[in-house]
Amino acid sequence: MWPPKTAVFAPFDQGKARAVCQQMMADLEREGCAWTGMFGALVCQDASGKEVVLRAFGGSFDGAWNREGFAPPLFDEQKYNAAILPNDKRIHELSVAPPNETQEQKAARDKERLFLCNQTLQKIYSLYRFCCFDQKWRTFDDISQEKLLPTGTGDCSAPKLLSQAFSLGLVPISLAEFYWGKPNSRLVPKNFYPPCDEKCALILPAILGLEIVYRDKNILVVNKPSGLLSVPGRGPDKQDCVVTRAQKLFPQMIGQPSVHRLDMDTSGLMVLAFDQASHRALNAQFENRLVKKKYVAVLDGVVKEEG
């Protein structure tokens, strides 16, 4: 669906990236760009602390998937074209209603077209490769339980930018995306928007290693999945956890940012502090029972009544 819904919380501060986007808007204005879509910028730091700026556009730009100076698509373009070719002609034929078509014929045509479209999408999605927070490359099968993701998933600016950054060993520090082109019911030209809820929300937690629910300069709130440790354990095989992943994304975070834990098999919200003052304030709230907790259990079977 276009335009996408926008409800995902922006994972990084937008300040520096917005300045880059403002310059991108000026360049597009000067060039007289008539294309409609999303653009994005990601400001990163390399190992020496030097800032590196990455740019991207959502989908294809004026029919081109690759454009100099912008993050590449997350698939091989030649393989992408080869995946589309077998069904493309027939899909276009089925998109046009023949004269005097009956309801039964239309239903059969729609059914065949849907089958061929889904078949092509499955081939296309098998080509996508994402470089994630740990610099490991993953596929849609690795990061999503959805059998058939919405069309265009993985083509937005945010996943392109983050994948490129992680593949280059860069640390993201600022991300911003803006809409360019004709206005519509949900998006205003030159306005900034967070990653979209319909598509990006399905894959960004896997790319980032965490589902970020809230972030400001003091605290970070993440939705911990079941099976992931809250804090590091003893031994090298127990270092992957919410805290180490958060510190990898945000190197400025203090050494012990957590003020509470969730069991490994428990999913739910965790609050982390970026600095010592925030950690003390959060810890005081927990100690003084100013924080309300709610636990929900999913039961397997029928609970017997007591007595």
Residue 165 contacts residue 54 (beta carbons within 8 Å) = yes
Identity (one letter) of the amino acid at 26? A
Q: What's 269's domain CATH number?
A: 3.30.2350.10
The dihedral sign for the CA sequence 58, 62, 65, 66: negative
Whether residues 228 and 162 fall in one domain:
no
User: 306 pLDDT band (50/70/90 cuts)?
Assistant: confident
Residue 245 within a domain: yes
Residue 241 within a domain: yes
Residue indicated by tokens 């070719």: 85
Mean pLDDT of the chain: 92
Whether residues 243 and 273 fall in one domain:
yes
User: 307 pLDDT band (50/70/90 cuts)?
Assistant: low
The reported pLDDT for the residue numbered 6 is 44
Whether residues 169 and 275 fall in one domain:
no
Residue 98 within a domain: no
Report for 7-11, 89-93, 139-143: range of highest mean pLDDT: 89-93
Whether residues 198 and 218 fall in one domain:
no
Domain that holds residue 270: 212-287
Whether residues 155 and 181 fall in one domain:
yes
Between residues 167 and 183, the one the model is more confident about: 167
Residue 3 has pLDDT above 50, yes or no: no
Q: Is the pTM of this model over 0.85?
A: yes
Whether residues 41 and 61 fall in one domain:
yes
Whether residues 274 and 176 fall in one domain:
no
Residue 234 within a domain: yes
Residue 270 within a domain: yes
> pLDDT digits over 231-289, tens only?
999 888 899 999 999 999 999 999 999 999 999 999 999 999 999 999 999 999 999 99
> pLDDT digits over 76-109, tens only?
999 999 999 999 999 999 999 999 999 999 999 9
Whether residues 181 and 271 fall in one domain:
no
Residue 1 has pLDDT above 50, yes or no: no
Residue among 255, 256, 252, 273 at smallest CA distance from 45: 252
Residue 152 contacts residue 200 (beta carbons within 8 Å) = no
User: 2 pLDDT band (50/70/90 cuts)?
Assistant: very low
Residue 226 within a domain: yes
Q: How many separate domains does the chain show?
A: 2
Residue 49 contacts residue 251 (beta carbons within 8 Å) = no
Mark out the alpha helices in 144-190 (DSSP H runs). 157-167
Residue 177 within a domain: yes
> pLDDT digits over 14-33, tens only?
999 999 999 999 999 999 99
Alpha carbon of 263 to those of 134, 157, 180, 268: distances in Å?
A: 23, 35, 45, 10
